[in-house]
């Protein structure tokens, strides 16, 4: 035991007596127990998303639920797709089917005798092919009225051409302005 103690003592004395300019590999630091140790951050960690190998070969489009709205509302309609580029084409029509004479049909209106409203939304790239799309629908435009409508979405460039359907209702009076009769 004494030879080890003697060797440690020699190393300590040698470290303290080295001439200036030589490297001192031993250092003893005394600190107060209440002094925090602050070390600079030298490593920045990055989180890399690991996408699954391969790709889902089946094109899809999801339409998030739209819900009920009042005439005059601006509705955000959005969803997801694995289509990589292009636009989602949305076709909005009334859910009522009425055979109509050819001359009564019109465009840019959701009425039963009309061609419906067509709106496009750009596909926004996401992570691992989970892309999003969205647009705002102003129910004061396009001749909307109180009723039940459906959305049909597709992206023909990637083969995701429906039916991808979501329904929504438009009431004529905002729910906050309705009065109950009782």
Give the list of residues 6+ apart from residue 133 with CB closer than 8 angstroms, or none.
78, 79, 80, 81, 87, 88, 121, 122, 123, 124
**Do residues 120 and 88 lie in contact, with contact meaning Cβ atoms separated by under 8 Å?**
yes
Going residue by residue through the chain, which has 182 residues, state the pLDDT in tens, using 9 for 90 and above.
556 655 555 555 555 555 555 554 544 555 556 666 676 666 666 655 566 666 556 888 888 988 899 988 999 999 999 888 789 888 888 888 777 766 554 566 777 777 788 899 999 999 888 899 999 999 888 888 888 988 888 887 787 766 677 888 888 866 555 444 44
* Domain ranges within the chain, ordered by starting residue: 61-175
Q: Which CATH superfamily is domain 61-175 in?
A: Immunoglobulins (2.60.40.10)
Cis peptide before 163 (omega within 30 of 0): yes
- Encoding tokens for residue 52? 């699954």
pTM above 0.85, yes or no: no
């Amino acid at each position: 035991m004494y030879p080890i103690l003697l060797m440690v003592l020699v190393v300590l004395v040698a470290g303290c007596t080295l001439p200036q300019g030589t490297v001192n590999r031993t250092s003893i630091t005394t600190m107060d127990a209440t002094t925090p140790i602050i070390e600079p951050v030298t490593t920045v960690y990055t989180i890399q998303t690991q996408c699954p190998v391969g790709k889902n070969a089946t094109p899809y489009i999801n339409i998030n639920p739209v819900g009920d709205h009042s005439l005059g509302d601006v509705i955000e309609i959005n969803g997801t797709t694995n289509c990589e580029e292009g636009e989602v084409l949305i076709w909005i029509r009334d859910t009522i089917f009425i055979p109509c004479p050819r001359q009564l049909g019109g465009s840019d209106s959701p009425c039963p005798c009309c061609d419906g409203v067509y709106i496009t939304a750009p596909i926004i790239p996401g992570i691992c092919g989970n892309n999003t799309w969205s647009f705002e629908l102003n129910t004061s435009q396009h001749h909307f009225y109180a009723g039940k409508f459906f959305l049909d979405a597709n992206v023909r460039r990637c083969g995701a051409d429906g039916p991808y359907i979501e329904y929504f209702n438009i009431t004529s009076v905002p729910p906050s302005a309705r009065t109950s009769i009782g």
